[in-house]
Amino acid sequence: MCGIVGYFGKDTKVLDTLVNGLKRLEYRGYDSAGIAIVAKDGQVFSKKAIGKIVELEKELEKSDISKFDKVGIAHTRWATHGSPTLDNCHPHFSQDKKIWLVHNGIIENYKQLKKELESKGVQFSSDTDTEVIAHLVQSFYNGDLKKAVQKTLTKLEGAYAIVVVSADEPGRLVAAKKGSPLVLGVSENEYVLASDVSAIISQTRNVIYFEDGELVDIKDGKYTITNFKDAPLKKKIEVIDWDDEAATKGGHEHFLIKEIMEQAKTMEDSCRGRIVSKSGNVRFGGLNTVKDKIARMERVVILGIGTSYYSAKLAELYFEDIAGIPAKAEMTPEFRYKNPYIDEKTWVIAVSQSGETADSVAAIKEAQNRGALVTGIINTVGSTISRITEAGVYNHIGPEISVASTKAFTSQSIILLMHAVMLGRMRGLSLRRAKAILEEIENMPKLAEETLKQNSNIEKLAEKYHKKNNLIYIGRNYNYPVALEGALKVKEIGYVHAEGLSGGELKHGFIALIDENMPTIAVVPQDSIYEKMISNIEEIKARSGIVIAVATDGDKEVADLCDDVIYTPKMKEEIAPIINTIPLQLFAYHVARLRGLDVDKPRNLAKSVTVE
């Protein structure tokens, strides 16, 4: 869950490239940061700081940068082993301070390795698992950094992406990957290694994605890629389909509000070229090779965690209602430990924005071992999940930088709805209903635009309620996952304790919490269970509870019953939950902003959870 950067190129660019790369990766970890640059004479310049990147920049302003050379490494940390201290901050170094490295992942056998090294007289200066790697590389070093790294890798158990430099070989970088993401940006006489492409895109759009068990050696202005046993590999250079501007705030105060406000466009991008209106069908080019297999499936399992799990919960309803097939959403951290019922007639869909979530990767492998067809819905091209699944669909919504997911949730939900329509047409879904759903999907960008116009009204509601420390969110049927997602958002970025639940659960325990100090946000569109939700609201009001409704435009009954109302356009029941999510995103954003919090980088969280 840390962010790593390595640079080989021009001495005038090394510092800026490393620091700018860290800024782009700060969403991956931000409790400390550091850099190390190897000078031509073999001296190593290193600076570290506790906190965000700006603290590292302050340290660098005090420094003499005249000796900076063209090779350096950098790291932004999300702590797994050891608290955020300067000693635990990366880059880590060997006892002789000749070997320096940065690491993303967890070394599972580090305690055993540490004991072995300590028995040989090695003294440790940190509490991290990473430091054992530096000492191991030193122990194997005999003038060739690559060989020392290769020998070290045979000792490591766990997940890692590492970038290593040596004071004895100032113009060399060696990097390796197993279980954690690593990508190489390739430009003329310049190379950037990073945890993801957001740190690279300002330098080049040409990248190489690494598989587990691969190593790259950058030396004398050239790179070679091998497996861990030194067999040469030929890797394809891929071109990133978004530019540097997509990874900036675009004039907004935060990435989060930018990503919320651009959802009309990302909805359009998610379904562009995929809807065949005349035949009421869906065309996913990434699923063409497995379409016949999909038609034979008897059960669907949707994998996700966090926000992706809530889109999976919504999809569970879509598949059963629209495609007429048993479906179940599964949390990936629990999936492989519960002996799930999976066989060759099960279609498993893995949903992940980053495509690197460690729990999801493990769950996919478990499903594959049981014979399931596994496909993915991924936003990040070239990510691990996109490579290990048999087929899949990309979101095509550009980078999502803010830690809290917004546009990815709506995109995932739309694409899952389209999956359900596609499978439904294979299983007897009527042309009339399929066309009606698809027409409404095509209309969703306009519905989103109308809903986003409520931003100023929602901000006023946030001003009214942002000091409340407890909230309840309720919804039913399609809007139950929306309640879960709304509660998650305000927890993530507003640090507000919030419960998401089905309206039907209310009287089974939760109603004990209702009083004049406990606001409830009720998602109550005019749909097939509208009257049930009205009854739930009346139960709350009878106990002096405060109710904020997300309701269909023009609903006077809700307006008379509730304390405050956020209106969304009238739309089909299947579409409503996706649009209804937007006001809850805006509410959480404004609550967090008014509470003076770091909206894009909430405490203790990282965007891509690449360790278990």
Positions marked catalytic? 2, 607
Residue 571, beta-bridge partner list = none
- Rounded to 5°, angle at Cα 300 from 285 and 436: 60
Residue type, 542: A
Closest CA to 511 of 481, 483, 544: 544
Rounded Cα gap, residues 506 and 474, in angstroms: 8
Joined together, the tokens standing for residue 370 give 């049981």
Q: How many CB atoms lie under 10 A from the CB of residue 509?
A: 9
Joined together, the tokens standing for residue 533 give 């939700």
Burial profile 221-240: b = 16 or more Cβ within 10 angstroms, e = fewer? eebebbebeeeeeeeeebeb
Contacts 24+ apart (CB under 8 A), 138-144: 138/94, 138/95, 138/96, 138/98, 138/99, 141/98, 141/99, 141/166, 141/168, 143/168
Joined together, the tokens standing for residue 495 give 């640090």
Q: Are strands 373-378 and 346-352 parallel, antiparallel or unpaired?
A: parallel
At residue 207, φ and ψ (nearest 5 deg) are: -135, 160
Query: Up-side HSE of residue 191: CA atoms within 13 Å toward CB?
Result: 26
Compute and round to an integer the Cα radius of gyration of the chain: 25
Rounded Cα gap, residues 579 and 565, in angstroms: 15
DSSP conformation class of 319:
I
Rounded Cα gap, residues 156 and 132, in angstroms: 9
